[in-house]
Chains A and B, each alone.
Chain A
Amino acid sequence: MAKKAKSDISFAPTGMQSPEKGGVQKGVDLPPATKKKHKSLGLSNDQVADMYAQMYLQRRFEERAMQQYQKGKFGGFLHLYIGQEAVSTGTVFALQNDDDIITAYRDHGWGLCRGITPKSGMAELFGKATGCSKGKGGSMHFANVKEHFWGGYGIVGGHIPIASGLAFANKYQANGRISTCFFGDGAVDQGALHETLNLAQLWKLPAIFVVENNGYSMGTAAKRHTVAEIVDRAKGYGMKSAVINGMDVFSVYEKMKEIADDVREHSEPWFVEIRTYRYRGHSMSDPQKYRTKEELEEYQSIDPIERLKAYILKEGIRSEADLKAVEDGIEQEVLDAVTFADESPFPEDSELYEDMFVEENPYFHV
């Protein structure tokens, strides 16, 4: 390689470029949504209504959580899922109830659709003894292991190998369950993903590795932190792969159901990129200077909840009044959860030493 003039050298990300004149820079390019109606996807009217209620719950829960955080009711991190609700909802409807789910720290939505009640979720955020993780985990560590939600994990990429372990145990025990792992686009750059993809393909583990590509790794656009198409990572390992429109709950449901069936039948892993968009900052202290208001508004105009609501009304699945009643009920449930969390006690001091070891009186060094 010829020597370059020193002034020419730059380590700016190669993916960085200005949008076309007049156009809006997009976080992610969405593949087309499915054209199928709910009946042909095998979904009943009631199931569609339930999907709506679930997504609406996730949204209202997090909006109230954000308000409580800003009021100083709890501290630490708060990574909101708002905008991505179709991913969790579509997936959970596509999986069997005993299939395993594990995710990263943006975990509230996953918890709510896998059995964590708004009360125990809000109480966890508040660090109360009544929280789903007894107040010890907080926002990043919602978990409901009984219902096969193994929790949210705080180290980027750290839980990906764990998902392969869940899948390994399922195959070992021949229990018919599959394991699904969700992580952000930032985690794609972690070595752990690549080691795990190789292991999973090597041993044909019944697992689905899903990138929830919301366009940003913290404040860095996906286009600026990783090269080529994310989904193409699968090719290097000979792994089956797909790209899904994550702003449409039917598209997520349709594809995830197909993939889950395939994994269950053949015991072979999949690598899936679900493209979606988070409306809020990475965490509560993120001023979001890295993107424009116009970009955000573009995605909000295709909001998955509004999209499903329009579909429900158009198809006459529920009336406007029916939906209003559902929404009001959820709003009240979330407000009740806030009151519950606020009034719940903090954990007993002795809880500090609980859950460290299996033994009843374990050794602690002093």
Chain B
Amino acid sequence: MAVLQFREAIKHAIDEEMSRDERVFVMGEEVAEYNGAYKVTEGLLDKYGYKRVIDTPISELGFAGLGVGAAMNGLRPIVEFMTFNFAVLAADQIINHATKVKYMTGGQADCPVVFRGPNASAGQLGATHSVAYDSMYAQFPGLKVIYVSEPNDAKGLMKSAIRDDNPVLFMESEQMYGLKGEVSDEQDFIIPIGKGKIKREGSDVTLVAHGKMYHIAVKAAEELAKEGIECEIIDPRTVKPLDVELILNSVKKTNRCIVVDEAHPFAGFAAEVGFLIQREAFDYLDAPVLRVTLPDVNAPFSKSLFDLWLPGPKQIIDAVKQVTYK
């Protein structure tokens, strides 16, 4: 085990897979000369040269689609978006092409592309730079969506994503890039896509939280533990395919669940998890499933409003007390 920053864990995964498989290349805005807008690809240009580490113009639709075509034609592109807020410009290529080409051609063409970059908000970046897109993409058939919270998960799942023969969205957070954690340096360390993890055991309530919200859930759980309420925290790590069994087993134990999700509330990840629990664990519920999400409002710039907007530990604590009847 080595202690790595989140950004380093991703880089190690990319680096290892690039050494292992010559078809893998990295492309995106500022990934090469600038070493990555958030330094995730630092040093890769020096190591692999201009053929495999490629700076693009600000042409998201173009280079995302180029990634799709290259993947169809035998390569394994890793396409970086400076943020998934900019991937909206490339949504046609992701939603209409990457996810559908295999199906439309009756299975003749595969599309093993990885789209990666930071997702959701990162402080006061205003309305157009603060949206969490994992739920939205998870709605579309044909995509795997990963949104990790810790360096070790990032490494193991990034390697799985690169090796996966389907289009995979791999989401990170600007605010987690500096986060340090123990990362496996085992040869071929892989975390399978679709496997969540119980990151904290507890008997009183299940918290399902992924990405940046996982860390908020941890803070809330620490506070609640002082009052004798023990939260079980599940980090699904992969939004889709979702590790439903893990969540259900936990809810069957605790009889209550709060889903923490950094998306807007309507038809999001929290709504889906809530529905599944209702369908599969109805008789185990001792309280309604609640969710902590963003409000149904755009991201404000002002710090005071932004802090009000972004879910924090307090909202989770309130929700937990509500379902534990405290």
Contact = CB atoms under 8 A, between A and B. Distances in A.
- Decide if A and B touch, CB cutoff 8 A: yes
B297 interface: yes
Contacts of B86: 155-156
Given A218-B30, A364-B295, A76 B55 contact: no
A310 interface: no
Interface of A: 9-13, 74-77, 127-129, 131, 133-138, 140-141, 153-158, 186-187, 189-192, 217-220, 224-226, 289-290, 346-347, 349, 351-353, 356, 364-366
B124 A138 contact: yes
A156 B58 contact: yes
Interface of B: 29-30, 33-34, 37, 49-51, 54-62, 85-86, 88-89, 123-129, 264-266, 295-298, 300-306, 308-309
A336 B228 CA distance: 52
B305 A11 contact: no
A70 B267 CA distance: 40
B55 A224 contact: yes
Nearest to A13: B55
B301 A346 contact: no
Nearest to B37: A218
Given A75-B124, A76-B125, A218-B34, 17 more contacts: A76-B301, A135-B300, A135-B304, A137-B301, A138-B301, A156-B86, A158-B89, A158-B128, A189-B57, A190-B58, A218-B30, A224-B33, A226-B57, A351-B300, A352-B297, A364-B295, A366-B296
Nearest to B303: A127
A75 B304 CA distance: 11
A352 B296 contact: no
A2 B11 CA distance: 35
A219 B34 contact: yes
B125 A77 contact: yes
Query: Closest 10 CB pairs between A and B?
Result: A138-B301, A127-B302, A189-B57, A346-B304, A76-B124, A135-B302, A12-B50, A10-B50, A154-B128, A219-B34
A217 B300 contact: no
B301 A157 contact: no
A279 B32 CA distance: 23
A133 B302 CA distance: 10
A75 B55 contact: no
Contacts of B34: 218-220, 289-290
What is the predominant secondary structure among interface residues of chain A facing chain B?
Answer: loop
A156 B30 CA distance: 15
B126 to A, nearest CB: 5
B33 A219 contact: yes
A189 B59 contact: yes
Nearest to B62: A191
Nearest to A192: B89
A191 B33 contact: no
B301 A135 contact: yes
26 contacts: A9-B51, A11-B51, A75-B124, A76-B126, A77-B126, A127-B304, A133-B301, A135-B302, A136-B301, A137-B301, A138-B126, A141-B301, A156-B58, A158-B89, A218-B30, A218-B34, A218-B37, A220-B30, A225-B56, A225-B58, A346-B304, A347-B300, A349-B304, A351-B305, A353-B295, A353-B297
A136 B265 contact: no
A10 B49 contact: yes
A206 B155 CA distance: 53
Contacts of B303: 74-75, 127, 346
A174 to B, nearest CB: 33
Contacts of A9: 51
Contact of B296 (A134, A158, A364): A364
Contacts of A134: 302
Contacts of B33: 219-220, 224, 290
A127 B302 CA distance: 4
B75 to A, nearest CB: 12
A75 B298 CA distance: 18
Contacts of A128: 302
Contacts of B61: 191
A364 B309 CA distance: 14
B305 A352 contact: yes
A136 B300 contact: yes
B308 A352 contact: yes
Given A10-B51, A136-B300, A352-B297, A217 B57 contact: yes
Contact of B302 (A189, A218, A346): A346
A212 B295 CA distance: 37
Contacts of B128: 140, 153-155, 158
Contacts of B50: 10-12
Contacts of B54: 11
A10 B48 CA distance: 10
B299 to A, nearest CB: 9
Contacts of B300: 135-136, 347, 351-352
Given A12-B50, A225-B55, A365 B266 contact: yes
A186 B308 CA distance: 34
Nearest to B267: A365
A158 B129 CA distance: 13
Contact of B265 (A156, A191, A349, A365): A365
A219 B29 CA distance: 9
Tell me which of B85, B302, B305 has the highest count of chain A C-beta atoms within 10 A of its own C-beta. Answer: B302
Contacts of A140: 126, 128
Contacts of B264: 365
B125 A366 contact: no
A351 to B, nearest CB: 6
Contacts of A187: 58
Contacts of A219: 30, 33-34
B124 to A, nearest CB: 4
Contacts of B301: 76, 127, 133, 135-138, 141
A347 B58 contact: no
A220 to B, nearest CB: 6
A347 B305 contact: yes
Contacts of B298: 356
A128 B305 CA distance: 10
B81 to A, nearest CB: 12
B58 A352 contact: no
Contacts of A192: 89
A188 to B, nearest CB: 8
A40 B146 CA distance: 64
